[in-house]
Structure 1
Amino acid sequence: MTTATPASASAAPRAVRTPSDLSTQSSLSALYADHLAEQQRRTEHALQRGGFDALVIASGIEKFAFLDDRPYVFQPNPHFKLWVPLVQHPDSWLVIRPGHKPRLVYCQPEDYWHVPPAAPSGFWVEHFELIIVRRAEEALPHLQVPGRLAVIGEADAALGELVPNNPATVLNPLHYARAVKTPYELMRMREASVLGAKGHLASQRAFREGASEAEVHRAYLTAVGLAERELPYGNIVALNEHCAVLHYQYQDVAPPAQSLSLLVDAGAHSCGYASDITRTTGNGDATFQALLDAMEASQLRLVDRVRAGTDYRDIHLAAHAECARVLREVGIVKMEEEAMLAQRVTSTFLPHGIGHLLGLQVHDIGGFMKDEDGGLLPKPDGHPYLRLTRVLQPGMVVTIEPGLYFIPMLLEKLRATPAAAHVDWAMVTHLSAFGGVRIEDDVACREEGAPENLTRDAFERLV
Structure 2
Amino acid sequence: MTDHASNFAQHIQTLQARTQEALLREAIDGLVIHSGQAKRLFLDDNDYPFKVNPHFKAWLPVIDNPNSWLVVDGVNTPKLIFYRPEDFWHKVPPEQTGFWVEHFDIVYLKQANAVEKHLPYDKAKFAYIGEYLEVASALGFELVNPDRVLNYLHWERAYKTDYELDCMRGANKIAAKAHRAAANAFMQGKSEFEINAAYLLEAKQGDNDVPYTNIIALNEHTSILHYMITDTTTPDEHRSFLIDAGAGYHGYAADITRTYCAIKHDFQALIKAVDTLTLDLSMQLKPGVVYTDIHRQAYEGVAKILTDFEIVNLMPQDCVEKGIVSTFFPHGIGHFLGLQVHDVGGHFANDRGTPNPAPSEHPFLRCTRTVEARQVFTIEPGCYFIDSLLAKLKTSENSKYINWNMVEHFRPFGGVRIEDNVIVHRERNENMSRDAGI
1:458 Cα deviation after fit: 0.8
Matches within 5 A, 1:4-83: 27-83=3-59
- Paired with 2:50 and 2:88, the residues of 1 have a C-alpha distance of 19
In 2 relative to 1, CA 268–184 (structure 1 residues): closer, same or farther, beyond 3 Å? same
Q: Which residue of 2 aligns with 1:150?
A: 127
Match of 1:298 among 273, 277, 281: 277
Partner AA of 1:41 in structure 2: A
1:392 Cα deviation after fit: 1.0
Contact kept, 8 Å, 1:61 with 1:156, in 2: the verdict is: no
- Paired with 2:334 and 2:314, the residues of 1 have a C-alpha distance of 27
1:151 Cα deviation after fit: 1.1
Aligned-partner SS, 1:253 = coil
Using the size of structure 1 for normalisation, the TM-score is: 0.92
- Paired with 1:107 and 1:164, the residues of 2 have a C-alpha distance of 24
- Paired with 1:415 and 1:27, the residues of 2 have a C-alpha distance of 56
Aligned-partner SS, 2:304 = helix
Aligned-partner SS, 1:35 = helix
1:172 Cα deviation after fit: 0.9
Please list the CA deviations of residues 224-263 of structure 1 after superposition, one character each: whole Å capped at 9, or x if unmatched.
0011111100011000000000001111101100010000
- Paired with 1:145 and 1:404, the residues of 2 have a C-alpha distance of 57
Partner AA of 2:402 in structure 1: V
1:385 Cα deviation after fit: 0.7
Q: Which residue of 2 aligns with 1:323?
A: 302
Please list the CA deviations of residues 90-140 of structure 1 after superposition, one character each: whole Å capped at 9, or x if unmatched.
000000124311100001011110001121110100110111110112221
Q: Which residue of 1 aligns with 2:145?
A: 166
1:164 Cα deviation after fit: 6.3
Q: Does 1:273 align with 2:252?
A: yes
Question: What is the percent sequence identity of the aligned residues?
Answer: 44
Using the size of structure 2 for normalisation, the TM-score is: 0.97
Q: Which residue of 1 aligns with 2:214?
A: 235
- Runs of at least 4 residues off by over 6 Å: none
- Paired with 1:387 and 1:157, the residues of 2 have a C-alpha distance of 32
1:156 Cα deviation after fit: 4.4
Matches within 5 A, 1:1-400: 27-146=3-122, 148-154=125-131, 155-158=133-136, 160-162=139-141, 165-400=144-379
Partner AA of 2:435 in structure 1: D
- Structure 2, unpaired ranges of 5+: none
Aligned-partner SS, 1:275 = strand
1:185 Cα deviation after fit: 0.2
Please list the CA deviations of residues 200-240 of structure 1 after superposition, one character each: whole Å capped at 9, or x if unmatched.
10111000000000000000001100111111000110000
Q: Which residue of 2 aligns with 1:458?
A: 436
- Paired with 1:256 and 1:283, the residues of 2 have a C-alpha distance of 13
Contact kept, 8 Å, 1:233 with 1:362, in 2: the verdict is: yes
In 2 relative to 1, CA 243–164 (structure 1 residues): closer, same or farther, beyond 3 Å? farther
1:153 Cα deviation after fit: 0.6
Contact kept, 8 Å, 1:60 with 1:157, in 2: the verdict is: no
Partner AA of 2:340 in structure 1: Q
Contact kept, 8 Å, 2:18 with 2:74, in 1: the verdict is: no
Contact kept, 8 Å, 1:150 with 1:170, in 2: the verdict is: no
CA RMSD of aligned residues (A): 1.4
Q: Which residue of 2 aligns with 1:425?
A: 404
Partner AA of 1:114 in structure 2: H
In 2 relative to 1, CA 157–117 (structure 1 residues): closer, same or farther, beyond 3 Å? farther
Contact kept, 8 Å, 2:126 with 2:143, in 1: the verdict is: no
Please list the CA deviations of residues 164-210 of structure 1 after superposition, one character each: whole Å capped at 9, or x if unmatched.
61111111111110011101000000000011111110111000000
1:409 Cα deviation after fit: 1.0
Contact kept, 8 Å, 2:126 with 2:141, in 1: the verdict is: no
Aligned-partner SS, 1:69 = coil
Please list the CA deviations of residues 355-377 of structure 1 after superposition, one character each: whole Å capped at 9, or x if unmatched.
11110011111110111111011
Aligned-partner SS, 2:93 = coil
- Paired with 2:225 and 2:352, the residues of 1 have a C-alpha distance of 34
1:423 Cα deviation after fit: 1.8
1:418 Cα deviation after fit: 3.3
In 2 relative to 1, CA 156–85 (structure 1 residues): closer, same or farther, beyond 3 Å? farther
Contact kept, 8 Å, 1:62 with 1:72, in 2: the verdict is: yes
- Paired with 2:42 and 2:29, the residues of 1 have a C-alpha distance of 38
- Paired with 2:382 and 2:186, the residues of 1 have a C-alpha distance of 20
- Paired with 1:237 and 1:79, the residues of 2 have a C-alpha distance of 30
Aligned-partner SS, 2:139 = coil
- Structure 1, unpaired ranges of 5+: 1-23
- Paired with 2:387 and 2:3, the residues of 1 have a C-alpha distance of 52
Contact kept, 8 Å, 1:157 with 1:163, in 2: the verdict is: no
1:422 Cα deviation after fit: 2.5
- Paired with 1:63 and 1:27, the residues of 2 have a C-alpha distance of 35
Contact kept, 8 Å, 1:61 with 1:157, in 2: the verdict is: no
Contact kept, 8 Å, 1:368 with 1:389, in 2: the verdict is: yes
**Number of corresponding residues:** 435
Aligned-partner SS, 1:304 = helix
